[in-house]
Structure 1
Amino acid sequence: MGYPLELKCVLCGKTFKLEEVKYTCPFCGQDGTLDVLYDYDEVAQSFSRERLKKDSSPSLWRYAPLLPVINSEHIPSLSVGWTPLYMSKKVAETYGVSAVFIKDDGRNPTGSLKDRASAVGVAKALDFGYTTIACASTGNAASSLSGFAAVSGLPSFIFVPEKAPEAKITQLLVYGATVVLVEGDYSDAFDLAAAAIDRYGWYNRSCAINPYLVEGKKTCALEIAEQLGWQVPDRIFISVGDGCCIGGLYKGFWDLLNIGFIDRIPKIVGVQAEHAAPIYEAFKAGSERVLFGPVQTVADSISVGAPKNWAKALRAVRKSNGDMVVVSDEEILSAIPELARSTGVFGEPAGAAAFAGFRKMAMAGMLESSESVAVVVTGNGLKDISNARKAAGAPLSAPPDIDAFEEILNAHL
């Protein structure tokens, strides 16, 4: 399996042996999220682009040497990763760039990019000998964990805000998770989950503090690079809530750079909702910290006012010479049908937010015509049918009479 070597704090830079620290830096506290570092010399000797070319397994486990799982028997049986990367000439021509690629991570088994993290999280829980796993989530991480825990025989406890979309809550219950609807927002759910995990000794699946979970998310970057023949795009757009997905993208490209698979890291652009943008505000202000506050957006998956993985998010944008952009709820909703009708990919609001951010920057003349662009759609549109219906418009209604239908059709046209 992999060659994990040590853990390193994003804030203070201190390194720790794997057995020394469970979640975050003991000196920097919860803000001190950790990177998993590998023996990159060992990885480079046993792992190659040629080896990958011969590997026909369509899952993220093709990258096992760059993942932290120790025992292959702990890998969940539910297939995850190797999602499609579509090239859209239509979108590229419409917005004046050289190429556009859409990474459809809504094709993962429970419908979101979070499946990548849950697959690794469940395997690590078993590596460490835990018998129960838990997390707080705005929805997708929760449904993801419940699915992977179910196939691995691990009981799961999920804490979600009481206003989480019904489809996501239904997924949790179908998979057999114990679901706790927490009065309040994501921060309230996170705090209650952390207290329960501490009291009952469960394994914490939260990407916000568990260093191993981001390692699962980074495989999205590994796939994009491999699917493009190791010629990474100039710029990549992804929506941002807690900061874990964008942090994972950067870590994936950084790892590939370290073993010589790619020669540069693409500019990473984080997209936040207009009224849920604490990381954007910190980035634009040049701040080293993120200020927390209330949020409101239709994109529930990125509705996070107190992001826990803000340090990795800011690093991803700054170290890649990237950028951040905010989009309104109206821009997010209008992006859902445009994305679907131009590329065939149906994204939930948070997934479509990345496309809305790309569109906004392109229309503002902030992208070069020579640039190649990738957009990561983090979740499937069926996760939030209510907002999709708002964006898509109403169907026609007709009696079972062809003449009446013709009148209605002519009026519609």
Structure 2
Amino acid sequence: MKYVLGAKCVKCGREYTLTPNTTTCSCGGILDVQYDYAAIRRDFSPADLGRSRDWSMWRYRPFLPVEETSAPTPLRVGWSPLYKADRLAKELGLKTLYVKDDGQNPTASLKDRASAMAVVKAREAGADTIACSSTGNAASSLAGNAAAAGFQTYIFVPARAPKGKVAQLRIFGATVISVDGSYEDTFELSKAAIEKWGWYNRNAAINPYLSEGKKTVSLEIAEQLGWQMPDYVALSVGDGCTIAGVWKGFQDLYAAGFIDRLPRLISVQAEGCCPLNRAIQTGRPWTPMEENTLADSIAVGVPRNPDKALNAIRSSNGVVVNVSDEEILAAMRLLGRTQGVFGEPAGVTGTAGVKKALELGLISPDSTVVSIVTGNGLKDVANGIKAAGEPMLVKPDMDALLAAFAQRRITP
């Protein structure tokens, strides 16, 4: 790994030499990959990216902890669109808003970035089987990326995982274990099984490489904005791994001289499950919460990456916002109606948070904001219908259609 210096524990500071199988520090802390930024700056520049025709996350290889000889994953992951959301910005009363639609990744979520990294590192480790626990998106992303690369997968999901995500797992050939319990129960069972059978561990709070995959969304945002940083980047937060990866990406770019300032993060959690935001708001250590939200992808009452996540929010002088399930459903409708982007509940939670942050006066209307949509709405059709409502049902008759329009005050 040409530009990798090693890894450092975010809890105790102990340093490690990285191997493909590196996991956590002996103290239990999560490791952070360290780079030689001076060497990256010497050998690589925004101009090099301007000449690249690799429209995937692997265009950023100097910023990634993979061997130079390692082949990329078969599925095209990354380079999702960044839309200038003028209609939505006007409706919210915001000067400039961009929407990063990561639901357009191969298995329809941002988690493909982490799973693609896991597949490459598993191949470097000589593994043939990869396993993880997940509320849904990490699971489906692993199953799809692993299937394309020829790996077996064992995936543990809470029984409440949406059927759309479970369907993806089964179609991709994964061995799926539906756990009758919480996400915490699911994680612990996967951890025990991985230890017993020696599978490659894709759990994001164990494997330090996964946030390195997730950070590529930040690298793309920066490049797509011409290296001009927004004031804020908003995203939904569950176990903390994604927001940690997003912040790491911006930090890497800043240290390598690709950008001249850092954005502030807007950490958005569901009111019914917000242990990390609550810790920031109260100034106290985080404590577990019930997983009481329909946004299953961020329904994590015991976050597995709290240290990195809290560091990211605090280091960025970030804003924390909690939104209700009703506000999340409203954001699904708003994003779809104004921008044609269909996000799942957790996927639009960042957008719901931008709206609420403006209403609460936490951010200025003159700000430039990027909202990351982390997952596609087709993963959770039941909540999509809940947000939008059922269609009208009419007889195949014009009089019936006119009556239905009149009842709903529709004027074509």
The bucket for the TM-score relative to the shorter chain is over 0.9
Q: Which residue of 2 aligns with 1:160?
A: 157
Measured at CA, do residues 21 and 7 of structure 1 come closer, stay the same or move farther in structure 2, by a change above 3 Å? farther
Q: Deviations over 1:110-168 (max 9, x none)?
A: 00000000000110011111121100000000000001110111111000001111110
Is the partner of 2:310 in helix, strand or coil?
helix
Counterparts of residues 251-266 of structure 1 (less than 5 Å): 251-266=248-263
- Aligned residue among 371, 380, 393 for 2:367: 371
What amino acid is the match of 1:12?
C
1:345 counterpart (332, 341, 344): 341
CA displacement, residues 7-45 of structure 1 (integer Å, 9 cap, x when unaligned): 111122221111498211112x1xx11111112122112
SS at match of 1:306: coil
Aligned pair partner of 2:72 in 71, 75, 98: 75
1:211 aligns with: 208
Paired residue for 2:382?
386
> Where do 1:100-119 residues align within 5 Å?
100-119=97-116
Q: Which runs of 4+ in 1 moved over 6 A?
A: none
For residues 215-230 of structure 1, the aligned pairs below 5 Å read 215-230=212-227
Aligned pairs (5 A) from 1:208-287 = 208-287=205-284
Relative to the length of structure 1, the TM-score reads 0.97
Q: Is the 8 A contact 2:110 2:375 kept in 1?
A: yes
Whether contact under 8 Å (1:2, 1:64) holds in the other structure is no
1:380 alignment partner AA: N
- Rate the CA distance shift 1:319–1:353 in 2: closer, same or farther, 3 A: same
1:232, CA displacement in angstroms?
1.1
Q: Is the 8 A contact 1:187 1:305 kept in 2?
A: yes
Query: Which moves more between the two structures, 63-72 or 268-277?
Result: 63-72
Asked if structure 2 preserves the Cα contact closer than 8 Å seen for 1:74 and 1:126, the reply is no
2:328 is matched with 332
Q: Secondary structure at the match of 1:330?
A: helix
Q: CA deviation at 1:97?
A: 2.3
Identical pairs, percent: 51
What is aligned with 2:125? 128
Aligned length: 409
Relative to the length of structure 2, the TM-score reads: 0.97
CA gap 1:9/1:73 in 2 versus in 1, 3 angstroms: closer
Listed as ranges, the gaps of 5+ residues in structure 1 are none
Gap runs ≥5 in structure 2? none
The CA deviation string for residues 309-339 of structure 1, in whole angstroms up to 9 with x for no partner, is 0111101110001111100111111110111
Of 139, 142, 153, 2:139 maps to 142
Q: Which amino acid aligns with 1:350?
A: A
Aligned equivalent of 1:322: 318
| TM-superposed deviation, 1:74 | 3.8
- Specify which of 401, 407, 411 is matched with residue 405 of structure 1: 401
1:369 shift after superposition:
2.6
Of residues 209-218 and 17-26 in structure 1, the stretch that sits farther from structure 2 once superposed is 17-26
Contact 2:132 / 2:154 at 8 angstroms: preserved in 1? yes
- Alignment partners' CA distance in 2, 1:306 and 1:369: 34
Partner of 1:359: 355
- Provide the secondary structure at the position in 2 that maps to 1:211: coil
| Contact kept? 2:277, 2:320, Cα under 8 Å | yes
User: What CA distance in whole angstroms lies between the structure 2 residues aligned with 1:207 and 1:53?
Assistant: 31
Amino acid at match of 1:138: T
The answer for the alignment partner of 2:9 in structure 1 is 9
Which residue number corresponds to residue 47 of structure 2?
50
Q: Deviations over 1:231-256 (max 9, x none)?
A: 01101110000101100110000000
